[in-house]
């Protein structure tokens, strides 16, 4: 269990590229640097889902999940009593640290590149594993333990998906992540989604006329990230 001292930032990156080539990694880095510069007692936990991938689920995970779900709101501390074999034990060992990290965070910062109109598989693997039944429900009230958690999602995409653009409805990142964190119980006012668009303008000839729009999008994303990191 991570000790919560002052403010805790859980910083998760999911781009397959390194910080030299990744817009989302540079933006989350800007957030983390700004956030740390505020001083005070702060813990910064960085999880790189590409360098350290979250393993895919196995039947033991889903079997344990169903058993836990049948019991109602079982807090993570009571899950070990429901484990029946070594495979389930292993799944729980892979899962509990991720749950603890998420519960310990005051702010969750996610770097999310757009891959095929949605989130990368590396992030989806984290989502599927960390969303264990009952882990975020107060066992007494059923209320979400993530209600006050601030979630800052920093997205980067090669194309443009803004309102009124031809591919507006191809953006499955924004609605998906809104639905996911909303369903987890994160309060709408604590969920912030920022997108740097048209990151491939310098690469793709068909986007070459949009360099100014891309630069403006990146500048806006940097400003939004800096402002959110300062509070």
- For position 24 contacting ligand FMN by CB under 6 A, the verdict is yes
- For position 122 contacting ligand FMN by CB under 6 A, the verdict is no
**Smallest separation, CB 49 to ligand FMN (Å):** 12
Residue with smaller CB distance to ligand FMN, 54 or 114? 114
- For position 158 contacting ligand FMN by CB under 6 A, the verdict is yes
**Smallest separation, CB 156 to ligand FMN (Å):** 4
Element (H, E) at 60: helix 59-70
Tell me the CA distances in angstroms from 222 to 153, 168, 212, one per residue in order: 13, 22, 15
Q: Give φ, ψ of 218 to 5 degrees.
A: -65, -40
Residue with smaller CB distance to ligand FMN, 18 or 183? 18
Burial class (CB in 10 A: 0-12, 13-18, 19+), 89: middle
Q: Of 29-37, 44-52, 152-160, 174-182, which part binds ligand FMN (CB under 6 A)?
A: 152-160
Establish how many alpha carbons lie within 13 A of residue 212's alpha carbon, considering only the half-sphere containing its beta carbon: 1
DSSP annotation of 192:
E
- For position 75 contacting ligand FMN by CB under 6 A, the verdict is no
Element (H, E) at 162: none
Largest CA distance in the chain: 61
Among 8, 22, 149, 217, binds ligand FMN (CB under 6 A): 22
- For position 113 contacting ligand FMN by CB under 6 A, the verdict is yes
Per-position x/- string for 89-108, each x denoting binding to ligand FMN as judged by CB under 6 A, each - no binding: --------------------
């Amino acid at each position: 269990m991570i000790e919560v001292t002052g403010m805790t930032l859980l910083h998760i990156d999911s781009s397959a590229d390194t910080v030299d080539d990744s817009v989302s990694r540079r933006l989350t880095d800007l957030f983390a640097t700004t956030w740390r510069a505020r001083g005070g007692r702060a813990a910064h936990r960085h999880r790189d889902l590409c360098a350290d991938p979250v393993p895919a689920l196995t039947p033991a995970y889903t079997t344990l999940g169903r058993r836990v779900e049948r019991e109602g709101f079982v807090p993570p501390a009571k899950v070990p009593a429901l484990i029946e074999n070594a495979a389930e034990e292993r799944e729980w060992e892979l899962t509990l640290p991720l749950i603890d990290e998420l519960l310990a965070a005051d702010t969750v910062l996610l770097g999310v590149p757009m891959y095929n109109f949605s989130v990368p598989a590396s992030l989806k693997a984290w989502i599927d594993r960390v969303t264990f039944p009952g882990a975020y429900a107060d066992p007494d009230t059923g209320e979400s333990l993530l209600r006050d958690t601030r979630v800052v999602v920093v997205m980067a995409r090669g194309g443009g998906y803004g309102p009124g653009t031809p591919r507006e409805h191809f953006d499955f990142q924004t609605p998906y992540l809104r639905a996911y964190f909303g369903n987890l119980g994160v309060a709408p006012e604590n969920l912030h989604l920022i997108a740097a668009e048209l990151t491939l303008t310098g690469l793709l000839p068909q986007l070459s006329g949009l360099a100014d729009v891309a630069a403006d999008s990146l500048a806006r994303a940097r400003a939004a990230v800096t402002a959110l990191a300062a509070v």
